[in-house]
Each structure stands twice: as C-alpha cells, then as structure tokens.
C-alpha cells in the first residue's frame, strides 16, 4: 500500500494502467489524493456483477473466447467471495474499485484478466456501478419507508379516539384526532415512497457499451447486458451515459425530502414529550440521560434525526455543485459523486430505522391532550360557524367572536357560554380528509390498501447475484 506522505516511495517503474504511457510511478501524495478506493470499495458487488454480465456478452458475441470468458467469470466469483470474507486487501496504489478488482482477478487467472475490459472503459463501468448501487439502496429505503408508514397506521388505529389540539403557528387552533395528525405523516412518507419508485423507473437504463464516451468498435450487444443486469432498456447516447449523474442527484433530493419529513416528525415528538406539552413519552430505549441531571430523559434520537437532515441537504448541494460546470463527457470531478451518495444512504437508512423504533414505542397521554384541547378558545371557529348557520356572513361572525375573545382575554377568564366539546368539534368535520371519525377511518383504510398493493411490488435488494 502506498503510504501517505512518504515521498521516498515513488516507484521507479510504471505499472498497471500506467504501463506504456508513463515514465514512472505517481507522486505518493498525488496517488492518495487521486485514489477513491477508500470509499468506492462499497461498489464491489455491483462492479463484479457488471463485469460478469459484460464478459458473458463478449463471449456470446465472439469478441472473446468462450473458454476464457468462463475462466474470467469463475475468477470474478472467487474475487467476490474473497471480498465478502474480508480476504482481499484493497490497495490505494490501484486507485479505485475497478482496478483493484481487475488486479485481484489477474492474481487468480493471470493475464486473461485483461480481456474483461475489452469494449469497456472505467467511465461507463462506474456509471453502471453507481446506478446499480442506487437502485439497490432505493429499494431498501422504500422498504424502510413502508415500515415507518405501517408504524404510523398502527398507532393511528390504536388511538382513534384520542383528541388533541391541532396547531397553526404553534398556537392551539382547532381540536383534531391524534390519529389524524399521525396520518398526515403517513401521507408524506407515501409520497416519498412514490418519489423513489418514480426515480428508479427513470434511471432504469443501462449505460455499458458507451465505453470512454463515443461507444466502441466491437460488435457488442447492449440489450443482452441490460437484460442480464435486469435493466429495462439501454441508454440512448454514449456521451450522456458517461457524464450523467442526474439519477444520483435525484436520489439525493428524494433523500432530502425523507429527512425533511423525518425531521418535522422528530421536532413534534421533541415538543410533545417535553413537560410543557406532556402529550407523549418516548421509549426509554431511544432516549439518553444527562451526566449531571438525574431527572433527564433526553430525546437524542429525534434531535439527531433533525440535525442529520442538514448533512443530507449538504450532500445534494455538494453533488449539484460538482456537476454544474462540467463539460461533456467524463471528468474526474465525477469521482466526487460517491461520498455524498454514500453519506446520504447511511443517514437515511439509520434515520428511518430509528424512527420506526421510536414510533412503535410511543405512549400517548390522552388526558393531557384532551385537557389541552378543552381550552375554550379553541372553539372560536366553531362558534363563528354557528353564527353563520343563523344567517350571519362568516366575516362578520369571525369579527364578533374575535371581539368577544378580546374582551374576555382582558378580563383574564374566558367564558363562552355553551362551548361545543372537543369531541363534538372533531365530529362536526365529517367529510373526506377531515378529522371526524369516519374520515380518519377512511384514511386508514386507503393507507392499508396502498401498503397492500405495493407490498407485492417490493423487489429483492439485489436482482442478480451474477
Ligand atoms: N474512480 C473513477 C470514478 O469514480 C472511475 C472512472 C475513472 N475514469 C477515468 N477516466 N479516470 O469516477
């Protein structure tokens, strides 16, 4: 392994892909600056699957000898096994995952290994690997989104008759069912799920065959490779294929939306579990204590989700900024696409998993919530609505109730005469999408139908093991 900062270790002979064009080895500082293996080793499985499919096609097309094709494939399967057993030591001086795997293959089968790269470049290779990686991760995230959605539905069903204040401007506004509030989050995660699904459909194009940028002189069969790797179609333009990272940016944007939704929910849980609200308690297993204040049970999980949202936004901006001034086609800048994608992937997986656990362990205090929802001021809209039923225009009714509240606020105690109960108020909103019992039951029914319909479509994490 090339040692960082060891200026004396520059190899005098050029080797690997430098053999031929270069007079000597790389400056060791530059070698480590240039290398991506420390992070792109994550793509090992996709890289090997892609190469196996490519070699299958090369042999089928008579571009390489079928026996050599089989030797390469067996060798790659062994390399995969070695990596998975932790037996392959990745080398910084071999730059990236592609060269590391090629060299590991050469160590097993000799120079035939070099034939796998016929009609291919690392440019289309890495474009393929990242697409496959993002496809797999999107499917995992979709599953995790479904788990969060299921948790929200279960809590909503169990708390159908708990009533709480609904808020605008974080001021008590109108009473709502807790289930109605929770199902609002279901809608967000449902849209997130759909967004990932839409993106995976859009990115379902196989870029291999584009080679460096212009395509290849060999008689390749791109459709065959697409089919072997479970892509629906091949990309249409070789230059776009090696330069395009739209799918990665879209993945990051979708990740930002998930994090933003999780962060809003986390913020509510922080508020609700505070002594000021006292609406719920978070499961002990997801809280931590204070080193000095024995009474503290801190909502760290929620706070971390809220904060990590920022780093995922940063990941999106980092990639968009890398892309914004790149001329066609491949530029080494594109190597900087991976760390944001990996960081966002880890953060979204972690946050969704933690949120599932939090939701499952939430305990609500129905009395505290009802008490807060029994604040007479919260009935103001309903009182105005009553006046409207007596024929008074709404704007006038609004002013009259407002004036009554102002005079009573001045006399500190609010008395409204016959104020509707929180139960009456939520039940008065019995249309579709409203907080009435039937409306919420309808939402839950639709949500379950959504889960059922899409559960069938949940695809395995990796569609081809090679
Ligand atoms: N490690 C490179 C990347 O991630 C692979 C492609 C390198 N291609 C090249 N022409 N240098 O983008």
CB of 126 shorter than 6 A to ligand 1: yes
**DSSP notation for 331-395:** -GGGGGGHHHHHHHHHHHHHHHHHHHHHHHT-EE-HHHHHHHHT-GGGGHHHHHHHHHHTT--HH
Which of 290, 407, 431, 465 is flagged as catalytic?
290
pLDDT at residue 121, as a whole number: 98
Residue 13 reports pLDDT greater than 80 = no
Beta strands in 8-66 (DSSP E): none
Computed over every residue of the chain, the mean pLDDT equals 93
Closest by Cα among 351, 353, 143, 334 to 247: 334
pLDDT at 310 over 60: yes
Q: Is the CB of 341 under 6 A from ligand 1?
A: no
**Among 274, 229, 42, CA closest to 128:** 229
Task: Compute the distance from residue 105 Cα to the ligand 1 centre, in Å.
Answer: 19
* pLDDT score, position 462: 44
- What's the helix, strand, coil split of the chain in %, to 5? 65, 5, 30
Give 167's strand partners.
Answer: 172
For the residues 441-455, what does the mean pLDDT come to?
96
Lowest mean pLDDT segment, chosen from 25-34, 210-219, 327-336: 25-34
Beta bridge partners of 171: 168
- The whole-number pLDDT of residue 464 equals 40
CA distance 215 to 206: 13
Active site residue 181: no
- Which pLDDT does position 326 carry in this prediction? 98
Q: Is 144 in the pocket of ligand 1 (CB under 6 A)?
A: no
Please name the residue whose Cα sits nearest to atom 2 of ligand 1.
335
- Pocket residue to mutate for ligand 1, from 120, 123, 242, most atoms within 8 A of Cβ: 123
Is the pLDDT at 356 greater than 70? The verdict is yes
Straight-line distance from the first to the last Cα atom of the chain, in angstroms, rounded to the nearest whole number: 30
CB 360 within 8 A of CB 151: yes
pLDDT the model gives residue 384: 87
Omega prior to 329 cis, within 30 of 0:
yes
Could you tell me the two tokens for 65? 């000898």
What is the percent of the chain where pLDDT is above 70?
Answer: 93
Question: How confident is the model at residue 15, as a pLDDT?
Answer: 77
Which three-class secondary structure state does DSSP give residue 399?
A: helix
Rounded to the nearest whole angstrom, what is the distance from the C-alpha of residue 87 to the centroid of ligand 1? Answer: 25
Place of tokens 């470049």: 121
Identify the bridge partners of residue 102 per DSSP, sorted by sequence position: none
Residue linked to tokens 């240039």? 34
The pLDDT of residue 176 is 97
Centroid of ligand 1 to alpha carbon of 449 (angstroms): 45
Contact, 88 vs 107, CB < 8 A?
Answer: no
CA distance 140 to 121: 29
| CA-closest residue to ligand 1 atom 3 | 335
Q: Is the CB of 122 under 6 A from ligand 1?
A: yes
Closest ligand 1 atom, residue 40 Cα: 4
The pLDDT of 449-458, averaged and rounded, is 84
Q: Mean pLDDT, to the nearest integer, of 227-245?
A: 98
- Residue 408: pLDDT band by 50, 70, 90 thresholds? confident
Question: What is the distance between the alpha carbons of residues 265 and 182, in angstroms, rounded to a whole number?
Answer: 9
Whether 466 shows a pLDDT value over 80: the answer reads no
Distance CA 382, CA 428 (A): 9
Structure confidence at residue 2 (pLDDT)? 43
Q: CB of 225 within 8 A of CB of 206?
A: yes
Tell me the average pLDDT across 74-89: 98
Q: Would you call 238 a catalytic residue per the annotation?
A: no
Please tell me the number of Cα atoms within 13 Å of 359 on its side-chain side.
27
CA of 331 to the centre of ligand 1 (A): 8
pLDDT of residue 457: 58
Q: Is the dihedral of CA 209, 211, 216, 218 positive or negative?
A: negative
Cβ(133) – ligand 1 distance below 6 Å: no
User: By mean pLDDT, which of 148-157, 300-309, 420-429 is the weakest?
Assistant: 420-429
Residue with CA at minimum distance from ligand 1 atom 4? 335
Q: What is the pLDDT of residue 415?
A: 58
Note the pLDDT tens digit of each residue in 259-278: 999 999 999 999 999 999 99
Give the pLDDT score at 288. Answer: 85
Ligand 1 centre and the CA of 221: distance in Å? 23
């Amino acid at each position: 392994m090339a040692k960082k900062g060891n200026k004396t270790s520059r190899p005098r002979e050029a080797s690997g892909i430098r053999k031929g064009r270069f007079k000597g080895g790389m400056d060791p500082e530059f070698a480590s600056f240039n290398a991506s293996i420390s992070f792109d080793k994550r793509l090992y499985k996709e890289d090997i699957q892609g190469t196996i499919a490519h070699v299958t096609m090369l042999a089928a097309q008579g571009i390489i000898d079928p026996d050599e094709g089989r030797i390469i494939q067996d060798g790659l399967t062994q390399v995969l096994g070695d990596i998975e057993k932790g037996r392959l030591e990745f080398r910084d001086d071999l730059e990236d995952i592609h060269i590391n795997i090629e060299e590991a293959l050469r160590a097993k089968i000799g120079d035939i290994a070099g034939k796998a790269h016929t009609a291919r470049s690392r440019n289309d290779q890495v474009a393929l690997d990242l697409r496959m990686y993002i496809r797999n991760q999107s499917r995992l995230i979709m599953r995790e989104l479904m788990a969060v959605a299921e948790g929200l539905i279960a809590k909503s069903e169990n708390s159908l008759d708990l009533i709480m204040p609904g808020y605008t401007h974080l001021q008590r506004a109108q009473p709502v069912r807790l289930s109605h509030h929770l199902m609002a989050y279901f809608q967000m995660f449902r849209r997130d799920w759909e967004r990932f699904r839409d993106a995976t459909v859009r990115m379902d194009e196989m870029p291999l065959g584009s080679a460096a940028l212009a395509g290849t002189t060999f008689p390749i069969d791109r459709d065959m490779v697409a089919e072997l790797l479970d892509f629906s179609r091949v990309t249409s333009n070789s230059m776009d294929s090696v330069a395009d990272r739209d799918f990665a940016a879209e993945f990051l944007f979708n990740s930002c939306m998930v994090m933003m939704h999780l962060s809003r929910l986390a913020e509510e849980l922080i508020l609700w579990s505070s002594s000021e609200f006292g609406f719920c308690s978070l499961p002990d297993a997801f809280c931590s204590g204070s080193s000095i204040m024995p009474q503290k049970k801190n909502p760290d999980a929620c706070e971390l989700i809220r904060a990590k949202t920022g780093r995922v936004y940063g990941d999106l901006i980092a990639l968009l900024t890398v892309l914004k001034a790149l001329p066609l086609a491949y530029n080494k800048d594109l190597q900087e696409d991976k760390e944001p994608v990996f960081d966002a992937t880890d953060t979204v997986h972690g946050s969704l998993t933690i949120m599932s656990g939090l939701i499952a362990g939430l305990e609500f205090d129905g009395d505290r919530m009802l008490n807060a929802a029994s604040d007479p001021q919260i009935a103001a809209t309903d009182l105005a609505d009553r006046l409207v039923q007596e024929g008074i225009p709404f704007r006038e009714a609004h002013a009259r109730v407002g004036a009554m509240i102002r005079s009573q606020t001045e006399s500190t105690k609010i008395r409204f005469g016959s104020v509707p109960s929180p139960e009456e108020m939520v039940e008065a909103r019995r249309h579709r999408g409203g907080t009435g019992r039937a409306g919420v039951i309808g939402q839950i029914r639709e949500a379950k139908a959504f889960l059922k319909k899409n559960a069938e479509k949940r695809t395995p994490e990796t569609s081809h093991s090679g």
